[in-house]
Amino acid sequence: MTAGEKIVVSKFRHFYATADGPVQATDMVDLAIRAGEFVTLVGPSGCGKTTLLKAIAGFLRPTEGTIACDGKPVREPGRDRGVVFQEFAILPWRTVRRNISHGLEIARMPREKREKIVARLIELTGLSGFEHRYPHELSGGMRQRVAVARTWAADPDVILMDEPFAAVDAMTRLTLQEELARLTAATKKTVFFITHSVDEAVFLGDRVLVMTRRPGKIKAVIEVPGRASGRDWESFKLDRGMQAIIEKVLRLVREERGAAAPAASDAQPAEAPT
């Protein structure tokens, strides 16, 4: 392990037991994420992206290979690795404020300290004025902000995000992506972010990983140069260098979608052939 490497995945292979026998989800994934890095992962649907994330989170035991966080093997979920899910996994019976402070309550942080942190995150995620609302009173975008704020409030070193913005509308998504970029830069977190949108992967990532179709392995690693002015969609769309990277990643992803999938199917990812 090299110094500064936060998450190291080596020779990770995973099989799921199904009624028709074991199905291989991933094939020999090797991967290292440096501290403070924002790594995005794109790949066709069903290629094992989520399996990899769940293994890093500690929700499942790898069939083969090892996963380490700070040099220690991952065996179960832990406070050092926060997770943001696609399906807004905030609790409907807690208000916005109490959802965000949940991790701090679990850690038995004194009330005063807790409220300070929660207030700051409500401010940062644009949830001011909604503190006492229940999730069902919020839009999808707002709910996902609560989920993000809850994870950030617990102050984990690593944050794992599984297509967190896939279920919100397109306009909201752009805003949320910009906000996430800002939040991550301000808090210097290590982020591992899964998506099937190439634009999103290049916009957010310091490094973009492309996964093959199932059983997935890392096919290519593309470095994305940092942007001194921060990350916003307007300048990103005008940046020729960035658009060239998108083209490159898109080509790599399309190869994996196979000949059967039409070329213009970026918005609707084709199922990976088995």
139 lies in the site for another protein, by CB under 8 A: yes
Which residue of 91, 186, 221, 244 would you call a contact of another protein, by CB under 8 A?
A: 91
123 lies in the site for another protein, by CB under 8 A: no
234 lies in the site for another protein, by CB under 8 A: no
Closest to another protein by CB, 65 vs 78, is 78
171 lies in the site for another protein, by CB under 8 A: yes
Closest to another protein by CB, 46 vs 103, is 103
213 lies in the site for another protein, by CB under 8 A: no
Q: Pairing relation of β-strands 5-18 and 21-34?
A: antiparallel
Of 45-53, 127-135, 192-200, 201-209: span binding another protein (CB under 8 A)? 127-135
Instruction: Establish how many alpha carbons lie within 13 A of residue 28's alpha carbon, considering only the half-sphere containing its beta carbon.
Output: 1
57 lies in the site for another protein, by CB under 8 A: yes
169 lies in the site for another protein, by CB under 8 A: yes
Helix runs in the chain, H state only: 49-57, 96-100, 102-106, 111-124, 140-153, 170-187, 198-204, 233-238, 240-257
Which residue of 33, 44, 122, 130 would you call a contact of another protein, by CB under 8 A?
A: 130
- The number of angstroms, rounded, from the C-alpha of 85 to the middle of its chain's C-alpha atoms is 8
Of 12-20, 51-59, 67-75, 193-201: span binding another protein (CB under 8 A)? 51-59
* Distance from C-alpha of 226 to C-alpha of 238, rounded to nearest angstrom: 15
Among the listed residues 168, 165, 163, the one whose alpha carbon sits nearest the alpha carbon of residue 194: 163
Closest to another protein by CB, 69 vs 224, is 69
Closest to another protein by CB, 40 vs 99, is 99
* Distance from C-alpha of 236 to C-alpha of 242, rounded to nearest angstrom: 7
Furthest C-alpha separation in the chain? 59
Yes or no: say if 9 and 31 are a contact pair by the CB < 8 Å rule. Answer: yes
Which residue of 34, 36, 59, 239 would you call a contact of another protein, by CB under 8 A?
A: 59
Among the listed residues 208, 212, 183, 178, the one whose alpha carbon sits nearest the alpha carbon of residue 193: 208
Among the listed residues 94, 178, 82, the one whose alpha carbon sits nearest the alpha carbon of residue 132: 94
186 lies in the site for another protein, by CB under 8 A: no
Residues within the interface to another protein (CB under 8 A): 57-59, 76-79, 81-83, 85, 87, 89-93, 102-103, 106-107, 126, 129-130, 133-139, 141-142, 147, 150-151, 154, 156, 169, 171-172, 175
